[in-house]
Amino acid sequence: MFRAAARGALVALLASVATLRPGGAGAQERTTVGGYGEVHYVNRTGPSTPGTVDLKRFVVYLAHTFNDQIAFRSELEVEDAKVEGAQPGGEVALEQAYLDYRLSDALTVRSGLVLPPVGIINETHEPPTFNGVDRPGFDHDVIPTTWREIGVGAVGRVPGADGLSYRVYLVNGLRAAGFSAAEGIREGRQEGREASFANPSFTGRVEWARPGLKLGGSFWYGGTADADPALGTGAFAAPITLLSADARYDVGAFLFRAVAASIWVSDAEAINTRYALAPASSQKLNAFVRHERYDTQAAVPAGTARDETLARRITTFGLSYKPTYNTAFKGDYQLLRNEAGTGATDVLSLGIGYQF
Amino acid sequence: MIQAPPPTKVAASIVRLFGPHARVDTLHVDSAAVLRISAGDSLLGFAQVGSVIGKDQPITFLVAIDPANRLKDVDILVYREPYGGEVAYEAWRKQFRGKAAADPLQVGRDIRSISGATISVHAVTAGVRRMLAELTAWHESGAIR
């Protein structure tokens, strides 16, 4: 009896708040579920290398709309199908989890685990949106996709400038302790797991869009010392600066993608060109070629030997068949080379991907 | 599913498209509400508010036609998704102006997409195509006049 009465009182209170709320017209509270995922077959050339298959990603997207202004959005990911103690591989992680408070078209306050708006693939990483079975190496070793950190920021359209939008966030910093020669800043990410806030960092993006054309510029700036006395205890100790520019241009049957990024002592660029056949139908067959050049040791301190195998040159040829724009069957052939001229490897990959 | 947008947004859209002195009457066809816009004795056009689902949220928009059933403009009234808001840009919306129900109104044919907004572009284009066909059919049959 008591519980029922309490619940009744609570409902009445919520109802009165709802009727008092201005601008609530049309708002319908609802929960939605979506997802994306991909399965890969990979075969590297060389002696005794049978192919491997992997359920690379299975992601559940869960969102709740409280009203037209406030919404929660999240992505929960399982990598490599299963996670077992003491076994390598496998990961369960939140990729995004944030609350949006939309004040106007020009300003939405976003807070929680967010995606730094850097490059093309970090924010739009669903498999049907990019060519190639796996994400480009550039978007792994240079822009550490999927990059997510905890913070608060603002997103919206720039008023009075049709086509211009922005996103800026204040988030926890990277940790230099995780940086490596081969993967750059990748393992410096904290990914929302008891992250240190010793080095508040800024990241943001300005984007300009027209039908068929999108240009963007992104940055990240922040310390990485994590209060390590050897690196410095200031908020901006051992800073890194990331600058990136990207372009997407679709003309006729051709779709061009280019991204360049420069990080601290790193330097990298990737160029991705694809050719779409049969653009007029709802199905699509993309033939593409992508060339990536990046070096996670483009510059090294005096006295340190530069590892030329890290200056990577990756060429990828492939096909993506998309029976709908939300599903993809993919195949590609990659030539992995480096400046040292050693360890040349070819990789054949097949995969499927979906999103909804 | 049609979600009611704030009435002020609809009013502002009508004023922008038909001028400040336009008179608006609501007609009911089947279960739909069509706005009839006139000035004095002359018909200026019709408009309708609808919703399509983008990735997972409704995108509420308004489609207006002139008396010759040509599409005057599309207005995005409420956009709720975290990405894909480019469909509200005038540079994208103006591709619809002057279209008739007989036009293809298909992404990749007469409507260019915007990378990173693919889902919203497809959803809004399909919604506009459907609504333009409905308004045209109702006008031609005399269901709205």
For B1, how many CA atoms within 13 A lie in the half-sphere containing its CB? 11
Cis preceding linkage at A146, omega within 30: yes
The stretch A233-257 carries a mean pLDDT of 91
List residues bridging with B58 in a β-sheet: B53
The stretch A201-205 carries a mean pLDDT of 98
pLDDT of B23 higher than 70 = yes
Which A residues 221-260 touch B at CB under 8 Å? 248, 250, 255
How does the average pLDDT of chain A come out, rounded? Answer: 86
Enter the pTM of the model: 0.84
Strands A266-277 and A254-263: antiparallel
In this prediction, residue B45 carries a pLDDT of: 97
Q: Is the dihedral of CA B5, B8, B13, B18 positive or negative?
A: positive
Three-state helix/strand/coil letters over chain A: CHHHHHHHHHHHHHHHHHHHCCCCCCCCCEEEEEEEEEEEEEEECCCCCCCEEEEEEEEEEEEEECCCCEEEEEEEEEECCCCCCCCCCCEEEEEEEEEEEEEECCEEEEEEEECCCCCCCCCCCCHHHCCCCCCCCHHHHCCCCCCCEEEEEEEEECCCCCCEEEEEEEECCCCHHHCECCCECHHHCCCCCCCCCCCCEEEEEEEEEECCEEEEEEEEEECCCCCCCCCCCCCCCCCEEEEEEEEEEEECCEEEEEEEEEECCEEEEEEEEEEEECCCCCCEEEEEEEEEEEECCCCCCCCCCCCHHHEEEEEEEEEEEECCCCEEEEEEEEEEEECCCCCCEEEEEEEEEEEC
In this prediction, residue A143 carries a pLDDT of: 94
How does the average pLDDT of chain B come out, rounded? Answer: 93
pLDDT of B131 higher than 90 = yes
CB contact under 8 A, A212 and B114: yes
ipTM value, please give it: 0.84
CB of B8 within 8 Å of any CB in chain A?
no
pLDDT of A41 higher than 80 = yes
- Determine which of A162, A169, A256, A257 to mutate to test the interface with B (most B C-beta atoms within 10 Å): A162
Delineate the domains of chain A, giving CATH numbers in brackets.
29-355 (2.40.160.10)
* Cβ atoms A294, A137 nearer than 8 A: yes
Task: Read off the tokens for A286.
Answer: 């993309």
Q: Counting every residue, how long is chain A?
A: 356
Q: How far is A47 from chain B (nearest CA, A)?
A: 41
pLDDT of A47 higher than 80 = no
The stretch A37-41 carries a mean pLDDT of 97
The stretch A210-238 carries a mean pLDDT of 91
Instruction: Tell me the chain B residues in contact with residue A129 when contact means C-beta distances shorter than 8 Å.
Output: 118
Q: How far is A302 from chain B (nearest CA, A)?
A: 42
pLDDT-derived band of residue B113, with 50, 70 and 90 as boundaries?
A: very high
Instruction: Tell me the chain B residues in contact with residue A32 when contact means C-beta distances shorter than 8 Å.
Output: 56-57
Instruction: Tell me the chain A residues in contact with residue B95 when contact means C-beta distances shorter than 8 Å.
Output: 211
In this prediction, residue A89 carries a pLDDT of: 87
In this prediction, residue A108 carries a pLDDT of: 97
Q: How far is A28 from chain B (nearest CA, A)?
A: 8
- Determine which of B13, B51, B53, B55 to mutate to test the interface with A (most A C-beta atoms within 10 Å): B55
CB of B93 within 8 Å of any CB in chain A?
no
In this prediction, residue A281 carries a pLDDT of: 53
Alpha-carbon gap, residue A320 to A257, rounded angstroms: 15
User: Measuring CA to CA, which residue among A184, A178, A138, A188 is closest to residue A300?
Assistant: A184
Which B residues 102-121 touch A at CB under 8 Å? 106, 108-109, 111-119
pLDDT in tens, A251-302: 888 889 999 999 865 434 454 555 444 344 567 888 999 999 999 888 887 7
Kindly report which listed range (A52-61, A77-86, A226-235) carries the lowest average pLDDT score.
Answer: A226-235
Alpha-carbon gap, residue A167 to A205, rounded angstroms: 5
Q: Please count the other Cβ atoms lying within 10 Å of the Cβ belonging to residue A5.
A: 9
Alpha-carbon gap, residue B10 to B26, rounded angstroms: 12
pLDDT in tens, A124-157: 999 999 999 999 999 999 999 999 999 999 999 9
Q: Please count the other Cβ atoms lying within 10 Å of the Cβ belonging to residue B114.
A: 25
Kindly report which listed range (A12-26, B72-86, B106-120) carries the lowest average pLDDT score.
Answer: A12-26
Alpha-carbon gap, residue B27 to A250, rounded angstroms: 42
Task: Read off the tokens for A226.
Answer: 């994590």
In this prediction, residue A3 carries a pLDDT of: 40
pLDDT-derived band of residue A46, with 50, 70 and 90 as boundaries?
A: low
Find the closest chain A residue to B104 by CA distance.
A280
Alpha-carbon gap, residue B133 to A110, rounded angstroms: 38
Instruction: Tell me the chain A residues in contact with residue B89 when contact means C-beta distances shorter than 8 Å.
Output: 162-163, 209-210
- Cβ contacts from A onto B, under 8 A: 91
Instruction: Tell me the chain A residues in contact with residue B82 when contact means C-beta distances shorter than 8 Å.
Output: 71, 73, 100, 108, 110, 155
